[in-house]
A and B are shown apart, each in its own frame.
Chain A
């Protein structure tokens, strides 16, 4: 046996709060903006009528909204399975609509200065010049800027704000609107359906492969505000698109609500890749419903990076409706002190030979809490379906918490299902090892976290993997006692 005078010592469990004094990133600033349109505080039928009237909506939309409002009121908070923290949302204190107008600008020069400087500070115009095919920049309730490169528009690709799309392309919009995620799906999808504003609308015609990503950026600027964007992406037969969204908000002492609904439709042989890198301030409730419908031979891939927020509940899903359809969810969640990332995926198999993959990695720092919830459903009448689910959790401190709730229902014999889960911890010895090579404790932790997500991040477009690494570095900075 080797000489081991390595000691067996008890580790002091009373660790100092590791994330005190954290710098909540570049997004923490706000400007005093004069809003021309303001629905006031609280929610009632008049709020909904106000929103609909300033948008000059068709009567069917107002009707849709009012019906949704009734469903929202009738549905209880889902606290029987989700966190009780939901009860702290005070719907009467939220402002549901704030904007400077309903028509976004086509050039940055036209965007009002106070809004323009926000997006400049977040680097959006620069990213657009560098690598994007189109950009939508939403400021509170409406898009302030919207542009698509001429070359892409010429191919027949439509990329615009949902508010505009409902006016200009009601025939395509209405056909799929609310079809992937019905209003009554959950309390927050109903809320969104009642008060939605902004979000992206994309239509890609058959066979068109959009070479560069389209990007939307969602910015919350106002305090006590609720952002309810509605995104609908329809990719026609054999077409392909990559869409990316980024989100930030300043850090206010009161809570802010972000409750989006995102519907994707991939027709026969189409491919959609939807990438989210969110970096919400720690006062934001982020309660989002995202689902895609994949027809025959279509592919939908969600890449979801959740950093920040007070509570995130988000389970991107794919309904595999056509034969050989493929669905994939890759998610990374980082729960820092005082944060709860309740994330996961839903895969509903509804045709033969459909394939789904879920890879989830979560990191809990300090008293941060990460929860994975997954649903995989393969009914009895189907043949040759496959699912692979992998959930890995990394705990940074002894008081960090992670929970996993995978629900895999497979009926019938002719399917292949695989599930793997792991929990690992950044050990004191690993940190010491890295420190011994000259890295500070924070740098060591950051490197350990980046290593943990590395195999997933490698699949991201370069600009986004760089951004994610920077966000992880910022989160881990000062995360040591």
Chain B
């Protein structure tokens, strides 16, 4: 079984430490949720793991199947099985979803190998049907003029097609109304299984009503300060983040 291990990770933005010694192991098949107040470093964690150039890892390590990914380019990390569902997905004008995904899959093939076009479309349409996405969607430019819900569904579709081992889902619930949240959650649940490890990053408990996690971690000031099962999320919802802050202050 495959695992992603985050070991005592420290991340800076410029000179400012944001993530301050975070450790977490996610096995394939598990769903972990990280919750925490604004500005605690949740999004920084996911972008640093994916290799965004604005984030500097000052110490610690991230390994997939025992191999460090920190000296790899973002695209190499992606091809090693890492997927980041963005909080704010970028728009790519003029590039259709069908062409984009095809290029992404093509990039995973060896030299001289060519993607089989009819097989590709068959797979694409099957995934779209499973995620209840209109087929017209494929000819639209990636995220260009999409609503919040459409952007998030587009992320889930990409995840379905690229079949990562590990998915970091950054605030997938942000900007969604209740219907969109349900549709997106159904999509994630559909992809959930023994071959996918998920890290759900969220601010609100409500997402976890739809995607029920195996583990819940509370992040505060760049660290995980509390871990538990799904009941921790409910406790947090009831007591608020101040409860965690007070508990920490008491220590």
Contacts and interface: CB of A to CB of B under 8 A. Distances in A.
A433 B100 CA distance: 11
Contact of A432 (B13, B43, B53): B53
B95 A447 contact: yes
B158 A5 contact: no
B158 A435 contact: no
B228 interface: no
B93 interface: yes
A4 B107 CA distance: 31
B75 A439 contact: yes
B141 A438 contact: no
B104 A439 contact: yes
Given A2-B175, A430-B90, A452-B94, A435 B43 contact: no
A437 interface: yes
B88 to A, nearest CB: 7
B78 A435 contact: yes
A7 B77 CA distance: 22
Contacts of B162: 437-438
B79 to A, nearest CB: 5
Given A435-B73, A436-B84, A450-B95, A9 B107 contact: no
B95 A3 contact: no
14 contacts: A3-B43, A5-B38, A5-B40, A5-B41, A428-B53, A437-B101, A438-B108, A440-B73, A447-B92, A447-B103, A448-B92, A451-B92, A451-B94, A454-B94
Nearest to A2: B174
A208 interface: no
A453 B94 CA distance: 7
A438 B44 CA distance: 20
Contacts of B44: 5, 7
A429 B78 contact: no
A7 B13 contact: yes
Interface residues of A, number: 34
B169 interface: no
A427 B92 CA distance: 10
Interface in A1-27: 1-7, 9-10
B146 to A, nearest CB: 13
B74 interface: yes
A5 B18 contact: yes
Contact of B75 (A2, A10, A435): A435
Interface in B105-128: 105, 107-108
Contact of B171 (A2, A9, A430): A2
B237 to A, nearest CB: 15
A219 B190 CA distance: 57
Contact of A451 (B14, B95, B108): B95
Nearest to B159: A437
A454 B90 CA distance: 18
A6 B54 CA distance: 10
Nearest to B91: A430
Interface residues of B, number: 50
Interface-centre pick from A10, A434, A441, A447 (highest chain B CB count, 10 A): A434
Contacts of B84: 436
A453 to B, nearest CB: 7
Given A3-B171, A443-B103, A451-B95, 12 more contacts: A3-B39, A7-B13, A7-B18, A9-B54, A424-B93, A430-B92, A434-B92, A434-B104, A435-B73, A437-B101, A448-B92, A454-B95
Interface string A441-471: 1011001101111110000000000000000
A455 B94 contact: yes
Interface-centre pick from A427, A447, A453 (highest chain B CB count, 10 A): A447
A440 B174 contact: no
Given A3-B38, A3-B171, A436-B84, A429 B94 contact: no
Nearest to A394: B93
Interface in B61-89: 73-75, 77-79, 83-84, 86-89
A233 B150 CA distance: 50
Contact of B86 (A1, A424, A428, A433): A433
A116 to B, nearest CB: 29
A9 B92 contact: no
Given A447-B92, A454-B94, A438 B73 contact: no
Nearest to B108: A438
B67 to A, nearest CB: 17
A440 B108 CA distance: 10
Contacts of B77: 436
Contacts of A439: 75, 103-104, 107
B90 A451 contact: no
B57 to A, nearest CB: 14
Interface in A410-430: 424, 427-430
Nearest to B37: A3
A443 B107 contact: yes
Contact of B93 (A10, A433, A452): A452
A3 B174 contact: yes
B42 interface: yes
A4 to B, nearest CB: 7
Interface string B48-61: 00111111000000
Interface in A241-299: none
Contacts of A443: 103, 107
B43 A6 contact: yes
A436 B100 contact: no
B14 A438 contact: no
A429 B89 CA distance: 9
A19 B50 CA distance: 26
B84 to A, nearest CB: 5
Contacts of A447: 92, 95, 99-100, 103
A434 to B, nearest CB: 7
A406 B244 CA distance: 61
Nearest to A446: B103
A345 to B, nearest CB: 22
A145 B193 CA distance: 64
B230 interface: no
Nearest to B85: A436
A441 B75 CA distance: 8
Given A2-B203, A4-B43, A427-B90, A438 B75 contact: yes
Interface-centre pick from A1, A3, A441 (highest chain B CB count, 10 A): A3
B90 A435 contact: no
- 6 smallest beta-carbon distances between A and B, as pairs: A451-B94, A454-B94, A451-B95, A433-B90, A435-B74, A7-B13
Contact of B141 (A10, A432, A451): A451
B107 A433 contact: no
B94 A9 contact: no
Nearest to B52: A432
Nearest to A433: B90
